């Protein structure tokens, strides 16, 4: 079997590792009171499923260095719990209405209960990280907690940048600013952190983690741009509200590019629309922004950048994996750059 | 078809996929392999991705600048903290030292986490990193997750226990030849029994401290009775 050429290695491995993570994760979701007001809410987003990309990256990164799945499972659970916790808070901050094809948690239960459920999920993610002491030893468990706090800080910084740009209608944003924001807001939790802690576990802390920052950044940035693209052009399988980013006034690469190419009149109009709070931004406003993006072919521009970043990710992976033996996990990581830009 | 009509394709300049994108994506000064690479004329990167020319190349260079700036900033922050998060590190730091650094580093951002990890820190200094019963809930019932090792201590004095056992050792018949102190003349700790995992139960280690045992730190290896290979280390600090 030519494992490197296996076309479905990404989906099959994500399914396999996703199942393992989900089973382990369920052990951390309490079934007790107050269920209606807390634990049912806590279990809601994890129950809805998801791609399980983050835990799969973690387990695969551990496995390419020879670890067993079980070695990385607790950390994979923590990653998924943290991811879901941040989703709850992100949805509130962004005023999002749909998540994984269903109403967001705060739409179902109100903002206070949703915030509380997000807080609880964040704290619950600590439990598997602490349990790592028993399987990985104290030093490695603490290294993983160090990585976790670093990731949490980056996430908060990135989220603050994006929210601040919207809140204060900042529009003098370049591609570098966007990439810096995405690096922090998306890449750390989605790709860099899972890869780094996976490599830590697999190598028992002996491998240089810097190459995983580069690989994770290019992979995560391509992933985010593709996600922004899907928000404009995807069908109902997407699971989030179409044009949601434009409704929220998010500074996507498409919007930044279109704004950069606009005439003075168009810029004035876009600035006025983006200065409005979300609830006052009309469907016509959103359509106007969308037309502007299409007029300047900014979707194609963003798609090209995503492709190039995926190419850079593949290049970085080829450097860091040159000495590693062939395996299903290596093939999986090698295919990930293609997968992130091909997914629908 | 005659020989004259047959079309002959030129031999390919290469016969396998090119995986070294170094000359395209990373600046030569940053790439240790760049000098070794000799680009074949007309060679294109993998078909999945755009050709990195013009604005395409600029965007990747821009991305490299962003990530390098981030890595440099992280390295400086790590150096300010007195440790290098980016370099492979030996596992010789003490649990307490690493924990304290972690606490100080995250104190600004995650106060809720701090409370939980702070509680762990206090627990580790007072009663050892592996306190019996840590896997039980408030009512004393075991939680759904069973940690690999339970440590049972029979002692009239406070002590810290540190156990570092390799994964997948819980079903083995483990033993320790005794934990020694570096102070000459101090009796070794020998009353240590390992109970492997059985029928879903958690593996357990029982440590008995005899009356009159001297204070100090006692360390030693944990071995597999069958074969004698080392499966981990153990350390007990008696206060």
Residues 153-212 of B with CB under 8 A from A: 162, 164-165, 167-168
Q: Which residue has the tokens 């809720």?
A: B112
3-state secondary structure at position B161: strand
Mean pLDDT of A179-184: 96
- Asked if A179 lies within 8 A of B66 by C-beta distance, the reply is yes
Q: How far apart are CA B231 and CA B174, in angstroms?
A: 8
Full strand arrangement of the beta sheet holding B230-238? B159-165, B230-238, B216-224, B174-175
Site from B20, B24, B25, B107 to mutate, A interface, most A CB atoms within 10 angstroms: B25
Residue B105 sits at the chain A interface (C-beta within 8 Å): yes
Closest-approach residue (CA) in chain B for A199:
B88
DSSP assigned state of A254 = H
Q: How far apart are CA A77 and CA A84, in angstroms?
A: 11
**Nearest-neighbour CA in chain A from B2: distance (Å):** 37
DSSP string of B17-34? -----HHHHS-GGG-TTT
- B106-131, pLDDT tens digit by residue? 444 444 344 444 444 444 433 333 33
Residue B47 sits at the chain A interface (C-beta within 8 Å): no
pLDDT band at B141 (very low <50, low <70, confident <90, very high): very low
Q: How far apart are CA B86 and CA B100, in angstroms?
A: 19
CA B69 from centre of chain: 26
Mean pLDDT of A147-170: 94
**Nearest-neighbour CA in chain B from A281: distance (Å):** 32
Residue B79 sits at the chain A interface (C-beta within 8 Å): no
- pLDDT above 70: percentage of residues in chain A: 95
**Nearest-neighbour CA in chain B from A180: distance (Å):** 6
Q: What is the ipTM of this complex?
A: 0.81
Q: How far apart are CA A156 and CA A302, in angstroms?
A: 25
Q: How far apart are CA A80 and CA A50, in angstroms?
A: 10
Is residue A1 domain-resident? no
- pLDDT above 70: percentage of residues in chain B: 45
CA B114 from centre of chain: 21
Q: Is the pTM of this model over 0.80?
A: no
Residue B129 sits at the chain A interface (C-beta within 8 Å): yes
Residue B138 sits at the chain A interface (C-beta within 8 Å): no
Which one is predicted more confidently, A333 or A231? Answer: A333
Of B21, B71, B145, Cβ closest to residue A311: B21
List the beta bridge partners of residue B216.
B238
Mean pLDDT of A155-162: 95
Which one is predicted more confidently, B10 or A110? Answer: A110
- Domain range for residue A245? 6-342
Please check whether residue A104 is in contact with residue A247, taking contact to mean a CB–CB distance below 8 angstroms: no
CATH number at residue A170: 1.10.600.10
- Asked if A308 lies within 8 A of B49 by C-beta distance, the reply is yes
Which one is predicted more confidently, A165 or B106? Answer: A165
- A7-42, pLDDT tens digit by residue? 589 999 999 999 999 999 999 988 888 989 999 999
Mean pLDDT of B143-152: 58
Q: Answer whether residue B34 shows pLDDT above 80.
A: no
Is residue A116 domain-resident? yes
3-state secondary structure at position B97: helix
Q: How many domains does chain A have?
A: 1
Closest-approach residue (CA) in chain B for A342:
B48
Task: Report strand pairing: B230-238 vs B150-154.
Answer: unpaired
How far apart, in Å, are the Cα atoms of A123 and each of A186, A250, B115?
20, 29, 10
Please check whether residue B112 is in contact with residue A156, taking contact to mean a CB–CB distance below 8 angstroms: no
Alpha helices in chain A (DSSP H): 9-26, 40-47, 53-63, 69-94, 105-109, 111-124, 126-136, 138-167, 175-182, 193-203, 210-233, 244-248, 253-261, 264-275, 283-295, 298-320, 328-342
- B35-83, pLDDT tens digit by residue? 333 333 333 333 334 444 445 678 888 899 899 888 888 777 766 665 5
Residue B233 sits at the chain A interface (C-beta within 8 Å): no
Q: What pLDDT score does A270 carry?
A: 94
Alpha helices in chain B (DSSP H): 22-25, 55-80, 95-106, 111-127
The residue extents of the domains of chain B are 17-121, 150-238
Which one is predicted more confidently, B38 or A295? Answer: A295
Residues in A touching B168 (Cβ below 8 Å): 68, 70
Please check whether residue B236 is in contact with residue B158, taking contact to mean a CB–CB distance below 8 angstroms: no
- A242-271, pLDDT tens digit by residue? 778 888 889 999 999 999 999 999 999 999
- Asked if B91 lies within 8 A of A205 by C-beta distance, the reply is yes
Task: Report strand pairing: B150-154 vs B204-208.
Answer: parallel
């Amino acid at each position: 079997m030519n494992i490197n050429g296996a076309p479905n290695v990404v989906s099959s491995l994500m399914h396999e590792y996703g199942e393992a993570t989900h089973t382990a994760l369920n052990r951390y979701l309490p079934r007790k009171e107050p269920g209606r007001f807390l634990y049912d809410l806590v279990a809601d987003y994890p129950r809805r499923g998801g791609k399980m990309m983050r835990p799969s990256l973690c387990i695969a990164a551990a496995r390419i260095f020879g670890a067993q799945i079980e070695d990385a499972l607790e950390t994979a659970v923590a990653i998924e719990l943290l991811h879901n916790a941040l989703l709850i808070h992100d949805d509130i901050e962004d005023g999002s209405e749909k998540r994984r094809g269903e109403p967001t948690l705060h739409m179902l239960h109100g903002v206070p209960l949703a915030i509380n459920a997000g807080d609880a999920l964040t704290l619950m993610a600590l439990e598997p990280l602490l349990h790592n002491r028993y399987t990985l030893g104290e030093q490695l468990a603490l290294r993983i907690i160090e990585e976790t706090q670093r990731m949490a800080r980056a996430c908060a910084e990135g989220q603050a940048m994006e929210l601040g740009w919207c809140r204060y209608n900042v529009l003098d944003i370049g591609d570098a600013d966007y990439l810096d924001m995405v690096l922090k807001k998306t890449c750390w939790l989605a790709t860099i952190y899972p890869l780094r802690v996976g490599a830590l576990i697999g190598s028992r802390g002996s491998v240089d983690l810097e190459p995983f920052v580069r690989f994770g950044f290019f992979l995560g940035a391509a992933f985010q741009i593709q996600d922004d693209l899907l928000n404009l052009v995807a069908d109902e399988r997407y699971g989030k509200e179409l044009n949601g980013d434009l409704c929220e006034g998010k500074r996507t690469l498409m919007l930044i590019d279109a704004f950069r190419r606009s005439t003075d009149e168009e810029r004035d109009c876009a600035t006025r629309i983006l200065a409005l709070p979300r609830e006052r931004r009309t469907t016509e406003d959103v359509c106007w922004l969308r037309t502007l993006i299409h007029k300047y072919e900014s979707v194609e521009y963003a798609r090209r950048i995503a492709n190039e970043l995926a190419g850079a990710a593949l290049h970085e992976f080829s450097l860091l994996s040159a000495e590693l033996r062939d395996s299903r996990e290596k093939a999986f990581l090698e295919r990930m750059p293609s997968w992130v830009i091909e997914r629908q | 078809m005659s020989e004259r009509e047959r079309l002959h394709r030129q031999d390919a300049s290469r016969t396998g996929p090119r995986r070294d994108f170094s000359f395209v994506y990373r600046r030569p000064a940053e790439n240790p392999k760049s000098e070794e690479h000799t680009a074949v004329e007309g060679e294109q990167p993998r078909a999945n991705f755009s050709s990195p020319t013009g604005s395409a190349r600029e965007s990747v260079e821009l991305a490299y600048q962003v990530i390098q700036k981030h890595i440099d900033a992280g390295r400086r922050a790590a150096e300010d903290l007195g440790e290098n998060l980016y370099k492979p590190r030996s596992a010789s730091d003490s649990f307490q030292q690493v924990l304290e650094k972690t606490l100080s580093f995250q104190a600004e951002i995650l106060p809720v986490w701090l409370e939980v990890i702070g509680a762990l820190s206090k627990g580790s200094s007072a009663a050892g990193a592996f306190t019996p019963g840590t896997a039980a809930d408030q009512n004393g019932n075991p939680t759904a997750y069973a940690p690999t090792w339970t440590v049972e201590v029979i002692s009239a004095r406070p002590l810290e226990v540190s156990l570092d056992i390799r994964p997948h050792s819980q079903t083995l018949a483990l033993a320790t030849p005794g934990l020694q102190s570096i102070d000459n003349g101090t009796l070794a700790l020998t009353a240590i029994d390992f109970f492997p995992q059985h029928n879903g139960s958690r593996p357990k280690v029982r440590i008995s401290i005899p009356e009159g045992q001297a204070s100090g730190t006692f360390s030693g290896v944990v071995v597999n009775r069958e074969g004698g290979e080392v499966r981990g280390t153990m350390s007990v600090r008696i206060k």
